[in-house]
């Protein structure tokens, strides 16, 4: 791997404790150095787990740097630094196999970070195993998942950039899944449930693919997920689905397609709200939030949230749309006091 240009990374240090049992040299902690980064990419040979990353940004010239990792996850929003200045930012990242969708390819072992932004400048980086980090586990479909390729992005893929060190996002959403398939596929619920630790938040948004699920079955499936999360000591949070961008002639979204009323006439968001109330589960009403936003932007303005311009797709979100919707989730996590204010990144 080639070395970083001196002008960009004059003093990168990638320090220790990068595995469950860090290598020791003459009684000292192993230190990984500059050879683990190129001008735009860093790779760390670490096992699956949760890691704190501290980056120092800035250089001789004015800079603007963002950080993404693993399967296109946004980990740090674009951060500007004045010429000659340095700023330090920290975040916590989940490293797993598969690194993206649970039914997808394994991905690259270890932790991979990519520098972006209009003028990236990394002056230092340090990666260490996270201690006592809270996990936010996501269970969902293609509108939530870590999408493998442009132009697609799920809101769960963009959520990490809104969280600071001490909270990690473990996104186990998977394309094409319904409550029925998520519960029955051994790669999904049977794999995810044992990973839930006491105190973890588990956000569940499954509805888009429950197109032929009857109301009683849908309700029972949600109740089973809530009970299974609680059995592990986790805290379930039910999330109603993002709307489909399907306008009526009057500019509203008051139709079955937009509001996720399925082919059997089951109002899926209404069932989610009912289960949340009956089971005393926190609710993030993303259907209501995204409906209000899409209607306020109108037919033309809302196209950028979805992949209408690229794919004539009114269900899946662009990176921009996923980022906006992740911001709505962030706001609700704060409003419900599910994540402390000090662990949330605003703006």
When pLDDT is cut at 50, 70 and 90, the band that residue 11 belongs to is: very low
Average pLDDT over residues 222-245: 98
What are 78-108's pLDDT values in tens digits?
999 999 999 999 999 999 999 999 999 999 9
Instruction: Please confirm whether the linkage preceding 151 is cis (ω < 30° from 0).
Output: yes
What's the pLDDT tens digit per position in 263-312? 999 999 999 999 999 999 999 999 999 999 999 999 999 999 999 999 99
Categorize the per-residue pLDDT at 34 as very low, low, confident or very high, splitting at 50, 70 and 90.
low
In Å, what is the CA distance from 118 to each residue of 95, 121, 227, 257? 27, 10, 46, 39
Residue with tokens 């990638």: 14
- For residue 292, the model assigns a pLDDT of 98
Angle value at C-alpha 322, between 321 and 328, nearest 5 degrees? 95
Residue 57 pLDDT greater than 60, yes or no: yes
What would the pLDDT profile of 172-182 be if each residue is shown by its tens digit? 999 999 999 99
Average pLDDT over the chain reads 91
- Please say if the pLDDT value at position 25 is more than 60: no
Q: Could you tell me the CA-to-CA distances from 319 to 160, 325, 326, 333 in Å, in that order? A: 13, 10, 10, 21
Rounded CA gap, 210 and 41, in Å? Answer: 39
pLDDT at position 15 over 50: no
DSSP state of 243: P
Residue labelled with tokens 């797709």: 313
């Amino acid at each position: 791997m080639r070395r970083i240009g001196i002008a960009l990374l004059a003093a990168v240090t990638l320090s220790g404790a990068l595995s469950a049992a860090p290598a020791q040299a003459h009684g000292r902690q192993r230190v990984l150095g500059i050879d683990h980064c190129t001008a735009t990419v860093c790779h760390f040979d670490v096992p699956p787990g949760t890691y704190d990353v501290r980056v120092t940004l800035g250089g001789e010239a004015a800079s603007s740097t963002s950080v993404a990792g693993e399967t296109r996850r946004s980990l740090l929003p674009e951060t500007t630094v004045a010429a000659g200045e340095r700023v330090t930012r920290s975040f916590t990242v989940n490293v797993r196999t598969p690194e993206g969708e649970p039914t997808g390819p394994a991905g690259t072992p270890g932790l991979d970070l990519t520098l972006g932004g209009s003028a990236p400048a990394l002056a230092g980086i340090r990666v260490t195993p996270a201690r006592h980090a809270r996990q936010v586990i996501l269970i969902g479909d293609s509108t939530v998942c870590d999408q493998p390729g442009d132009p697609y992005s799920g809101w769960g893929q963009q959520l990490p950039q809104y969280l600071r060190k001490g909270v990690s996002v473990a996104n186990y959403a998977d394309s094409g899944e319904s409550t029925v398939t998520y519960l029955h596929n051994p790669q999904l619920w049977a794999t995810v449930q044992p990973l839930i630790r006491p105190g973890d938040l588990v956000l569940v948004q499954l509805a888009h693919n429950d197109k032929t699920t009857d109301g009683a079955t849908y309700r029972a499936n949600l109740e089973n997920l809530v009970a299974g999360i609680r059995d592990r000591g986790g805290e379930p949070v039910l999330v109603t689905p993002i709307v489909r961008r399907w306008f009526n002639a009057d500019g509203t979204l008051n139709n079955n397609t937009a509001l996720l009323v399925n082919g059997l006439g089951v109002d899926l968001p209404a069932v989610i709200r009912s289960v949340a109330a009956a089971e005393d589960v926190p609710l993030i009403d993303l259907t209501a939030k995204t409906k209000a936003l899409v209607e306020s932007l109108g037919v033309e303005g809302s196209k950028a949230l979805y992949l209408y311009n690229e794919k004539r797709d009114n269900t899946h979100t662009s990176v921009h749309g996923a980022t906006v919707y992740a911001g709505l989730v962030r706001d609700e996590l704060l409003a419900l006091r599910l994540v402390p204010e000090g662990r949330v990144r605003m703006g």
